[in-house]
Amino acid sequence: MTTDVLIEEEGGVGRIRLNRPKAIHALNLAMCEAMIAALLRWRDDPAVRLVTIDHAEGRGFCAGGDIRMIAESGGGDGADAARFFRAEYRLNHLLFTYSKPIVAFMDGITMGGGVGLSQPARYRVATEQTRYAMPESGIGLFPDVGGGWYLSRLPGRTGAFLALTGARIDGAECMALGLATHYIPSAELAGVKQRLAEAPGDVAAILAEAAVTPPPARILGRRETIDRLFAAERYEDILAALKADGSEWAKAELATLATKSPQTCKVSLRLLAEARERRDFADEMTAEYRIATRICRQPDFLEGVRALIIDKDNAPRWNPATPEAVSDALVDSFFAPLPADQEWTPL
């Protein structure tokens, strides 16, 4: 039994509380398995009417997954990484299809795996402390945990922008893009959770009463520019549009993209394009599992983890080094079906 996630019942609420503060509650296999077990138990328990997901202490809701473990596994046979992805994606799918209402409190850092926990929830609470991002392009991964599904459904080309640049957005911006359903001051959350425990059937009214109007969303001021410059489906065309624009903002985004894995950026654009056409979240997770189990064994991921997490020199040497060197055949290889006995399946 892991203590990295606390499973509690309070009133009619099943509470999932991430409890790995030194890692900003990054998910590991034991945490995913514990959450799955609790959700399956509560699904058929009439006493549990509502599920909440938050973090027990420390800064941030959830910073992602256990990147070091994935990299160590990817440098070998990849088996442990595959087991983690299989369980994490089953958790994501279980949350997405859950019959009972779920409230996710995106208070603080909400990235990668934290996005996968929060976005399936019917109610997604942002605060003034929310820092939301899918930063995987910086370490040679891609926006997984359903990221293809969620980002591809954001307004205009904001999803492509977030996937490629890994840009961090705040709670007000999450509200503006539909990533959050309520904006509640962080100081009010304890009271909200207490009221939910006392009256879980009144979740919609309790959240609505506690919600306040968020500040202006900065990203809305960039919508026209983002939609225009990130309009292309080819990564090279996006880079060319930014270069031709020549504005200070475009130059800054070009500089940001220059630090990202070209391979990841091309895979991410293809994932979002395909995800827009999917009608079943299980199909999305199947596709992402194919990519994840392959990309974690690629030189770019191992190099990205070295540069940003282990050595922290922030100078990854990507291979292939340029977008032009990332062939269509290489991108295709990530999306190809796995052997039948290795494919991802929902619970």
User: How many angstroms separate the CA atoms of 77 and 264, rounded?
Assistant: 21
Q: Respond yes or no: is residue 201 known to be catalytic.
A: no
Q: From the candidates 54, 66, 107, 144, which is the catalytic residue?
A: 144
Active-site residue 311, yes or no? no
3-state secondary structure of 56: coil
131-133: strand order across its sheet: 109-111, 131-133, 169-170
Point out the catalytic residue in the list 113, 116, 138, 159: 113
CA neighbor of 249 nearest in space, from 323, 135, 165, 142? 165
Name the active-site residue from 14, 65, 146, 159: 65
Residue 65 falls in the annotated catalytic set: yes
Residue 337 gets which letter from DSSP? P
Q: What is the dihedral of CA 308, 53, 17, 346, to 10 degrees?
A: -70
Decide: 5 and 44 in contact? Cβ < 8 Å: no
Instruction: Confirm whether 138 is a catalytic residue.
Output: no
Q: Write the DSSP assignment of 219-245 as a string of letters.
A: GGGGHHHHHHHT--SSHHHHHHHHHHH
Residue of 33, 88, 136, 284 marked active site? 136
Residues 125, 184 contacting (CB under 8 angstroms): yes
Distance from the Cα of residue 330 to its chain's centroid: 24
Q: How far apart are CA 41 and CA 47, in angstroms?
A: 11
Q: Are 120 and 243 in contact (CB under 8 A)?
A: no
- DSSP H helices, the chain, are 29-43, 67-74, 79-96, 113-118, 147-152, 158-165, 171-177, 189-198, 203-210, 223-229, 235-245, 248-257, 262-275, 281-295, 299-305, 328-335
What residues contact residue 253 under an 8 Å CB cut-off, 6+ apart? 165, 229, 242
Is the separation of the CB atoms in 92 and 124 below 8 Å?
A: no
Give CA–CA dist 187/205, Å, rounded.
19
Axis-axis angle for helices 281-295, 79-96 (nearest 10): 160
Contact 76, 96 (CB under 8 A): no
Catalytic residues: 65, 113, 136, 144
